[in-house]
Structures are given as C-alpha cells and as structure tokens.
C-alpha cells in the first residue's frame, strides 16, 4: 500500500515531534507543515517538507492529504479539525479534544456526521498518546491479569515546575484561565489514563493549591488535590501541581518526553492497591504476601518487578492512526473517550470554584455541569 500522505497543522512545541514520527514511519509521508506563524516556514525547511500558512492555502496548492495531526492551541482544535474533516481528511487531534464541553460535543457530532456521509469516511482520533506508553501498557496488562486481586484504590501524582518562559508570549494562552491551566493541559492526560485503567470516574472533589505565580498575568489554576470515585467502586487521590520542583510525574518517571530529564524509579507517580497485592509505577514493583501462610503486616512482603519494553509512544500512536485510517483497527482513544476526560477536568474545575463535590453519573458526555 502507498504511504499515507500526512500533514502537521501547528508547528510549535509538539508539532515537530509528531513530524519526526511521520518521517520515520515507512507507512507515512510528511507532505506539509501548516502554521500562520512567521517562524514556521523555517521549521518546515528543517523538516524537509513544504510549508503553508493555512489549511485553505494548502488545499488550493496540492492534492488533498489523507490525514492530519492537529497540534494547534487548545481553543483552535475544534475549528481546525472541522475544517479538515469537512474535506474528508482523517484527523488525529492533540489533547484536550476541545477547550470546552460544548465545543467538544459540537466536534464529535460533526465528526460522526462526516464519518457516515463523506465519501472518504474520515475518522477522528485524539492524541492521548500515553495510552501507548510501554509503562502504561504493562500496568494495564498487570491489572487485567488479576494479579493485584480486586482493585481497591489508586494514588497518583503529577507534580513538577514549569519555567516562566513556558507561559510567555506567544504561548501565553497557557497562563489564562479560559484557555490554559494545569487541569486541561496536564491533568487531562492522567484522567484519560485513569479511565483507561479503572473505568469511568463518577465523583470528584478538589482543593486548590496555594498560587505561586502573580495574578495578573497568571489567571489559570496551578494545581489541586483531588479525591476520585470510580463507577467500579475504586477510589483515588490525585495531586497535580505545576509550580513545585519535583520528580513525581509521568514524564520524569518514564522518560517519555525528551525535554524533561528522566529520573526513573525516583519519579514514582502511581501506586495501585488491590486485595492481593499493590503495584508502584514506574518502578513496576508488585508487593504481596505470595508464598506466606497469610496476608499479615507482621510478615515480610514478597517483592516482584516487571520488565517494560522500549517504544516511543508518539511512534506507536502514529502506527495505530495508520491502522485506523486503513480500517484495520478501532480508535484506541476516540472523541468520546477524550470528551469523558475533559468532562472530569471540567468537573474538577467546578469543584475548585464551588468547593463542592461534583457527581458525574449517567450520560456525562451529554450532561451539563
């Protein structure tokens, strides 16, 4: 089969990383970079690809690409994805799927209509790439094998310090309450993973961390302590904060982001508790009383560690995108999955603002918070 002709829309921090994956996959061909920013033409040149300032300009100049990866700011995900789906281009949009629940629902219904009625049947996937991280895949395998017994609880951390340059123009959207903030930029990843591992979250409470940055210009939240309840009865606590020097986060623990130095086991970010054993991630250590006469705090724990394979999640996600476009797989993270994660982040925001617990029973995708 000929390689899929792929474009990258948005050439800021993450777009070029996706572009590298596209260039290294024999089943994909990078045909262009689209971005109105004056610096994007040079980025396209470095990536040895064509440059267009807009999707419209690209469509006028070259034959329709097969697929696009949308790497633009959160508030543009919906209009940009709709523009692409409207002409039959398959879309992998970066997380979060949208900057509001209403916009996310609008995109899902548009994507579903296009999938059914456009001759090309374009599909929408959302880039919660950590579902492809080998540590996560191993964790999912261990939980699914029943090796921890009945699942009881999860304790998670996403804590680190973002530098001030991260919030400076032209990326100051990240510091505004309406377009940025640690809940929709970062927590959304972990919420998607928690859904993937434990099923839907049905109740959430949140307490704000003490702000460390000056407001104005920073109006977005910096962190929160959350309590979670899942439909399965599993309960959880999660601490998220982007204003503290700390190794306890997914990126430092797994080393998946080349920008953030890896600390390995010291970056401990998930502890999962079951009736037969507990598991810590990313040291992938299982603690149990296997081999003992009984499960008792007076006995030494049996320690087992699991090996994790090597893979680059962005590359695995792209390989999956190709399979979905070719009709060989269903999306690992659909628009609905991504909207569910966004609903929980919105609920966390609401809990922060009102000081009240938010229940998410029933049709969370259709519900108004």
Ligand X SMILES: NC(=O)c1ccc[n+]([C@@H]2O[C@H](COP(=O)([O-])OP(=O)(O)OC[C@H]3O[C@@H](n4cnc5c(N)ncnc54)[C@H](O)[C@@H]3O)[C@@H](O)[C@H]2O)c1
Site for ligand X in 221-240 (CB under 6 A): none
Nearer to ligand X, 167 or 270 (CB): 167
Q: Does 34 bind ligand X (CB under 6 A)?
A: yes
Closest distance between ligand X and the C-beta of residue 99, in Å? 9
Peptide bond into 187 cis (omega under 30): no
Question: What does each C-alpha distance from 250 to 37, 57, 70, 204, 207 come to in angstroms?
Answer: 31, 38, 23, 21, 21
- Strands of the sheet containing 358-359, edge to edge, are 302-305, 285-288, 277-281, 270-274, 151-159, 235-241, 223-230, 201-208, 358-359
Out of 8, 9, 84, 201, which residue is the one contacting ligand X (CB under 6 A)?
9
Q: How far is the CB of 304 from ligand X (least distance, A)?
A: 30
Is 73 a binding residue for ligand X by CB under 6 A? The answer is yes
The CB-of-35 to ligand X minimum distance in angstroms stands at 4
Judged by CB under 6 A, the number of residues near ligand X is: 23
Q: What are phi and psi of 23, to 5 degrees?
A: -65, -30
7 binds ligand X, rule: CB under 6 A: no
**C-beta of 215: minimal distance to ligand X in Å?**
21
Nearer Cβ to ligand X, position 40 or 148? Answer: 40
Cβ proximity to ligand X, 41 vs 225, nearer residue:
41
- By beta-carbon proximity to ligand X, the closer residue of 36 and 264 is 36
For ligand X, which residue of 7, 30, 33, 80 counts as binding (CB under 6 A)?
80
Q: Is residue 61 at the binding interface for ligand X, with CB under 6 A as the rule?
A: no
Cβ-in-10-Å burial (0-12, 13-18, 19+) of 254 comes to: buried
72 touching ligand X, by CB under 6 A: yes
Among 13, 168, 266, 367, binds ligand X (CB under 6 A): 13
Distance of closest approach, residue 171 Cβ to ligand X, in angstroms: 4
Question: How many CB atoms within 10 Å of residue 127?
Answer: 26
Q: Which residue lies nearer to ligand X by CB, 74 or 249? A: 74
Q: Which is nearer to ligand X, 210 or 259 (CB)?
A: 259
Say if residue 217 is preceded by a cis peptide, omega within 30 of 0.
Answer: yes
Cβ neighbours, 10 Å, residue 84: 26
Window of 19-27, 73-81, 208-216, 262-270 that interacts with ligand X by CB under 6 A: 73-81
Q: Does 11 engage in binding with ligand X (CB under 6 A)?
A: yes
Considering the complex, state which of residue 66 and residue 192 has its C-beta at the smaller distance from ligand X. 192
| Helix orientation angle between 15-24 and 313-325, rounded to the nearest 10 degrees | 70
204 binds ligand X (CB under 6 A): no
Sole binder of ligand X in the list 71, 78, 108, 360 (CB under 6 A): 71
Residues near ligand X (CB under 6 A): 9-15, 34-37, 71-74, 76, 80, 94-95, 127, 129, 171, 185
């Amino acid at each position: 089969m000929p390689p899929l002709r792929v474009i990258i829309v948005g050439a800021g921090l993450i777009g070029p990383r996706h572009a590298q994956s596209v260039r290294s996959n024999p089943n994909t061909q990078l045909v262009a970079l689209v971005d109105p920013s004056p610096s994007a033409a040079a980025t396209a040149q470095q990536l040895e690809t064509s440059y267009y300032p807009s999707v419209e300009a690209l469509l006028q100049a070259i034959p329709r690409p097969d697929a696009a990866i949308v790497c633009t700011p959160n508030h543009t995900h919906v209009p940009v994805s709709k523009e692409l789906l409207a002409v039959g281009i398959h879309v992998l949009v970066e997380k979060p799927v949208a900057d509001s629940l209403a916009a996310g629902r609008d995109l899902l219904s548009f994507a579903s209509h296009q999938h059914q009625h456009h001759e090309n049947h374009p599909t929408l996937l959302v880039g919660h790439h950590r579902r492809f991280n080998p540590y996560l895949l191993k964790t999912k395998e261990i939980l699914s094998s029943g090796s921890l017994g009945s699942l009881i609880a999860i304790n998670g951390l996403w804590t680190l310090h973002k530098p001030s340059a991260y919030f400076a123009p032209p990326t100051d959207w990240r510091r505004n309450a309406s377009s940025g903030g640690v809940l929709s930029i970062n927590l959304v990843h972990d919420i998607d993973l928690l859904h993937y591992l434990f099923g839907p979250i049905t109740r959430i409470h949140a307490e704000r961390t003490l702000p460390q940055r000056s407001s104005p210009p920073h109006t977005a939240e910096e962190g929160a302590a959350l309590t979670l309840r899942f439909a399965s009865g599993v309960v959880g606590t999660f601490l998220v904060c982007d204003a503290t020097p700390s190794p306890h986060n997914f990126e430092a623990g797994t080393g998946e982001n080349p920008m953030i130095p890896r600390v390995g086991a010291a970056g401990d970010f998930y502890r999962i508790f079951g009736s037969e054993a507990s598991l810590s991630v990313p040291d992938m250590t299982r603690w149990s009383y296997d081999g003992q006469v009984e499960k008792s705090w007076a006995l030494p724990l049996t320690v087992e560690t699991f090996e994790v394979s090597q893979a680059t999640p962005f590359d695995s996600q792209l390989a999956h995108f190709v399979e979905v476009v070719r009709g060989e797989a269903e999306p690992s993270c659909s628009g609905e999955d991504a909207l569910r994660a966004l609903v929980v982040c919105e609920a966390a925001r609401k809990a922060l603002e009102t000081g009240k617990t938010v229940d998410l029973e029933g049709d969370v995708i259709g519900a108004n918070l």
